[in-house]
Every structure is written in structure tokens, then in C-alpha cells.
């Protein structure tokens, strides 16, 4: 039986959401390019003419005073507010039916996969107290044992935010399908038996990994209960066996050497300075000798970005709920992985995809 999607906008809701997508494409396309052009064409030469060396810091004030930057910033902020309002309309309408579907799942012993939530988990900064991407109430919003609204919002926003940034698909499992493809390209012939997806959220990455590696035992951990409930409901309704746990990626609780493939999708830019190395050390601990580690994230590393993009990214930290974006951008992931105990010879940190549209930073190692 083909079930209707849990997040299911009406025609009018979809029209409104598509309008927001149009605004996002404008702001992430032409308007962002206008900022780059004014920066290279006149602001950077003016900074140099004042005898100052060019850096993100010296460029920031003169660039943010330009009309082009102000237009970009204002429309970026407004489009994010519009996005959340548009997504909330659908979320509120379908929240009850999502909870009913969750409650109607068969008893735990009869399910294909599992869901283990831990109300006592100490949720780490910044997820604990930041509305990441300005998502209303944040990822960890959790009003009742049947609350899937955080997951509905996350999925709904992903259908606008990701295509607005150049992703070609925003299906529930699109990120994981891409992840599985990139893993196979990086490690030809890989045949894992047990996979762990860190920071799995609603399972956009986990579910696609399950399709890419059929029959493989697959686990996902995240700190956000509402996202995990959504992921569990989606997996069970699709008949996919996935084991979700509410755990900190830096302390997963799995035994040493338990997995032969560990992945993540857009986790690291949302962690923190302390958490990033701790997560990599945990990967080292639970990855079997000779196992594979592959992470995919935003391509915002400063050595890979022009100065105008760096200033725009730093703006996102303050104004768009991205507290660790610059911290991640300034981290050399290859060095961080080696510092966590992985062999330098098998460690990689590269870029994949089209610059400016769907490009990703990929990094990992062989254990």
C-alpha cells in the first residue's frame, strides 16, 4: 500500500512554499553574485587603496555597508522567516495525523527497526539552546511523547532550503542516496555489514544509505527526539529496517570496533569547537580496524571561499542560526581527523560537486 507522505502540503500551501523557493533562488543566485561582484570590483580595491591588507575582517565593514550586501542580507533574513511561516502552516495541519500514524505503528517487537529515546540525555550546545537555521523551537522541540513537529518542520524546510541552495532533489532520502553514491565512489568495492549514521536527523541521510546498501544493518543517532520519531515513522511505513537512538554523536554507547562504515551528512558544521574532535574520537573508537569513515558537509572552508563569501557566511552565524558555521569553516578537517587517531595516509578532505550549486566538503579515512 502506498501511503500519503506524512508532510503533505495542500495545493495552496505548496504554491506559497514554491514562492519562497523562488525568493531563495534569487537571493542565493543573482543577489549573492551581486555581492561578490561589488566586492571584487570596488570594495576590495578601496580597502587596498587605504593601505590595509585584505582579509575577511578588513573587508567586513565596507562590504556590509554596500547596497548589494544590505539587499542580500535583508532578503536572506526575510526569506528564512517566510520559509518557516509557510512550513508551519503545513506542520500544524498535519501534526495530529502524523502523531496518529506514529501511535498506530505495530508493537515494538513486530517492527522492522527500532527507536530508543533517552529523556535524560544531556543535549549538547549549540543544539540544546539555539534555533538552528532559526527553526521555530529548535531541533530538540519536544512537547509530548508523540510530538513529530520538529521533524515535520525540518523536512518541510529542507524542501525549500536545499533546492534554494542548488540541491537537485529534496526527497526524504535524497541526502542519503547522494551519500551512498559518494561513499561507493570514494571506496570502490566497499561491502559494509553494519553502518552508523551520526546526526541522522529525520533520516534523510540514513534512509538513503539503507537504499544504497540494501540488507546492511543500519543505525542512526541524533540528539533530537522529534526528528528521530519522524525518521522512525518514515522508515517503518516504508518497510525499511533502521535502528534509531537518541544519543550524542560524541558518546554513542556502542561497543568498540562495532561498525565497518560510519557516515554523517551535514552534521559537523552544526556542532561546536569541543564537540567536533570528540565526535571524531568516538568514530575512531566504534569503527572496526580497517573500517571506513565518510562525512559530507557544507563546502564553506575558508581556503575554498572568496572573501565576500566568507563575510556572507560570517553574517549567517549571527543572523541565520548558524553558530558554528565559521568555526567549522576554519577547521582543517584532515588535521582534525588525524588528531583523532586516524592514519594520515588514509585520511582525505576534498570537495565534490559544482561550486556555488550543491557543492560539498567530503572528508574521512580508513580506520
Ligand X SMILES: C[S@@+](CC[C@H](N)C(=O)[O-])C[C@H]1O[C@@H](n2cnc3c(N)ncnc32)[C@H](O)[C@@H]1O
- Report the C-alpha gap between 260 and 251 in whole angstroms: 17
Question: Quick one: which of 137, 29, 72 has its CA closest to 316?
Answer: 72
Residue 182 found at the interface with ligand X (CB under 6 A) = no
Residue closer to ligand X by CB (options 201, 364) is 201
**With contacts defined by CB under 6 A, how many residues of the chain interact with ligand X?**
23
Among 71-79, 83-91, 102-110, 196-204, which window interacts with ligand X (CB under 6 A)? 196-204
Which residues are CB-neighbours of 262 under 8 A, at least 6 positions away? 195, 196, 198, 283, 286, 287, 291, 292, 293, 294
Give least dist CB 287 to ligand X, A. Answer: 16
Near ligand X by CB under 6 A: residue from 87, 148, 180, 224: 224
94 vs 100: CA distance, rounded Å: 10
Integer Cα distance of 141 and 306 in angstroms? 36
Contacts with 206 (C-beta within 8 Å, 6 or more apart), sequence order? 176, 197, 200, 218, 220, 231, 235, 242, 244
Asked whether position 99 contacts ligand X by CB under 6 A, the answer is no
Q: How far is the CB of 275 from ligand X (least distance, A)?
A: 5
Q: Does 266 participate in binding ligand X (rule CB under 6 A)? A: yes
Distance CA 275, CA 215 (A): 32
For residues 199 and 15, give the distance between their C-alpha atoms in angstroms, rounded to a whole number: 31
Least distance CB 216 / ligand X (angstroms):
17
Applying the rule CB under 6 A, the residues between 115 and 134 that interact with ligand X are 124, 127
Given 90, 130, 142, 205, the residue binding ligand X (CB under 6 A): 205
- Residue 270 touching ligand X (CB under 6 A): yes
Dig out the grid coordinates for 31 from the structure: 543577489
* Residue closer to ligand X (CB basis): 90 or 265: 265
Q: Which letter does DSSP use for residue 255 in this model?
A: P
Minimum distance of ligand X from residue 263's CB (angstroms):
9
Residues that bind ligand X (CB under 6 A): 124, 127, 139, 175, 199-201, 204-205, 221-224, 227, 248-250, 265-267, 270-271, 275
Amino acid at each position: 500500500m502506498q501511503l500519503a507522505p506524512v508532510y503533505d502540503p495542500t495545493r495552496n500551501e505548496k504554491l506559497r512554499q514554491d514562492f519562497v523557493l523562488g525568493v531563495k533562488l534569487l537571493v542565493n543566485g543573482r543577489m549573492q553574485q551581486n555581492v561578490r561582484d561589488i566586492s571584487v570590483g570596488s570594495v576590495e580595491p578601496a580597502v587596498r587603496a587605504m593601505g590595509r591588507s585584505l582579509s575577511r575582517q578588513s573587508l567586513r565593514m565596507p562590504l556590509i555597508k554596500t547596497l548589494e550586501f544590505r539587499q542580500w542580507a535583508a532578503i536572506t533574513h526575510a526569506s528564512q522567516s517566510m520559509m518557516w511561516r509557510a512550513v508551519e502552516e503545513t506542520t500544524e495541519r498535519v501534526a495530529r495525523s502524523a502523531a496518529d500514524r506514529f501511535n498506530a505503528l505495530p508493537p515494538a517487537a513486530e517492527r522492522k527497526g527500532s527507536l530508543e529515546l533517552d529523556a535524560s540525555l544531556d543535549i549538547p550546545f549549540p543544539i540544546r539552546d539555539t534555533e538552528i537555521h532559526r527553526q521555530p523551537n529548535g531541533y530538540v522541540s519536544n512537547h509530548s511523547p508523540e510530538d513529530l513537529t520538529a521533524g515535520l518542520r525540518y523536512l518541510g524546510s529542507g524542501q525549500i532550503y536545499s533546492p534554494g541552495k542548488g540541491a537537485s532533489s529534496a526527497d526524504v532520502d535524497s541526502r542519503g542516496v547522494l551519500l551512498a553514491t559518494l561513499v561507493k565512489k570514494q571506496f570502490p568495492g566497499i561491502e559494509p555489514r553494519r553502518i552508523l549514521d551520526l546526526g541522522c536527523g529525520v533520516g534523510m541521510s540514513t534512509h538513503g544509505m539503507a537504499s544504497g546498501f540494501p540488507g546492511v544493518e543500519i543505525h542512526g543517532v541524533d540528539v533530537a527526539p522529534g526528528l528521530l520519531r519522524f525518521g522512525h515513522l518514515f522508515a517503518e511505513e516504508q518497510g525499511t529496517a533502521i535502528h534509531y537512538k537518541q544519543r550524542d554523536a560524541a558518546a554513542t554507547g556502542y561497543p568498540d570496533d562495532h561498525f565497518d562504515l560510519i557516515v554523517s551528512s551535514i552534521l559537523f558544521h552544526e556542532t561546536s569547537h569541543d564537540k567536533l574532535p570528540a565526535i571524531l574520537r568516538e568514530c575512531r573508537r566504534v569503527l572496526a580496524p580497517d573500517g571506513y569513515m565518510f562525512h559530507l558537509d557544507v563546502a564553506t572552508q575558508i581556503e575554498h571561499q572568496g572573501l565576500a563569501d566568507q563575510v556572507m557566511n560570517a553574517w549567517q552565524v549571527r543572523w541565520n542560526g548558524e553558530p558554528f558555521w565559521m568555526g567549522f569553516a576554519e577547521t582543517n578537517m584532515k588535521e582534525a581527523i588525524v588528531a583523532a587517531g586516524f592514519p594520515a595516509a588514509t585520511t582525505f578532505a576534498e570537495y565534490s560537486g559544482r561550486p556555488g550549486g550543491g557543492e560539498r566538503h567530503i572528508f574521512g579515512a580508513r580506520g
